[in-house]
Structure 1
């Protein structure tokens, strides 16, 4: 079974490796929509895979590193595309969320990335 929880955060970035004149080369911001998917067996006693409060407790410190920041200043995110940001988040979250199955990260309502680990 898979559970999920949705989060939002706001951050700015610019993409230094896109061609001159590309609009994403300029500093701009997004309201990111993040959904974390956790796979596991239902715990018999509790009746759930993971308490949503526990999931939030793990996710919020990582989101707190990103919220209202310039992503280019975050360690390891010199070129913070949605794809590289999702991979960065995966590395930060998997030690505390061994059942992490998928990260869905949207930069806009119509554009995003799904990452399922390496």
Structure 2
């Protein structure tokens, strides 16, 4: 069974490799929407896969690290596209949440990526 929790945060970035004149070449910001999916079996004792509070504790420090920052600086990514940023988030969250199986990262309510690790 999959369990999920949604988070949101604000951050800015710029994409240095897009053509001149492209609006993403300049610094701009997004309200990102991150959905974290964990997989597991339902515990007979608690009746859940994972306590939502434990999931939140695993993800919150990672979000606090990037919230209201310039992603190019804080992530070390030279070109922090949504795709590359999702991999960065995965690599930060997975050690804190071993049951992580998928993340969905939206840079707008209608555009984003789904990453399931490698």
Q: Which runs of 5+ in 1 are unaligned?
A: none
Q: Partners of 2:78 and 2:20 in 1: how far apart?
A: 17
TM-score (structure 2 length as normaliser) = 0.97
Q: Secondary structure at the match of 2:77?
A: coil
| Pairwise CA RMSD | 0.8
Per-residue CA distance 1:79-105 (angstroms, 9 max, x = gap): 111001100011111111111111000
Q: Partners of 1:111 and 1:52 in 2: how far apart?
A: 26
Correspondence 1:4 to 2:43 = no
The number of residue pairs the alignment matches comes to 118
Which runs of at least 4 in structure 1 moved beyond 3 Å after TM superposition? Answer: none
Q: Partners of 1:85 and 1:75 in 2: how far apart?
A: 8
Instruction: Tell me by how many angstroms 1:76 deviates.
Output: 2.8
Whether the 8 Å CA contact 2:75–2:88 is kept in 1: the answer is no
Residue 67 of structure 1 aligns with which residue? 67
Q: Which runs of 5+ in 2 are unaligned?
A: none
TM-score (structure 1 length as normaliser) = 0.97
Per-residue CA distance 1:53-94 (angstroms, 9 max, x = gap): 000001000001110000000243221110011000111111
Residue 44 of structure 2 aligns with which residue? 44
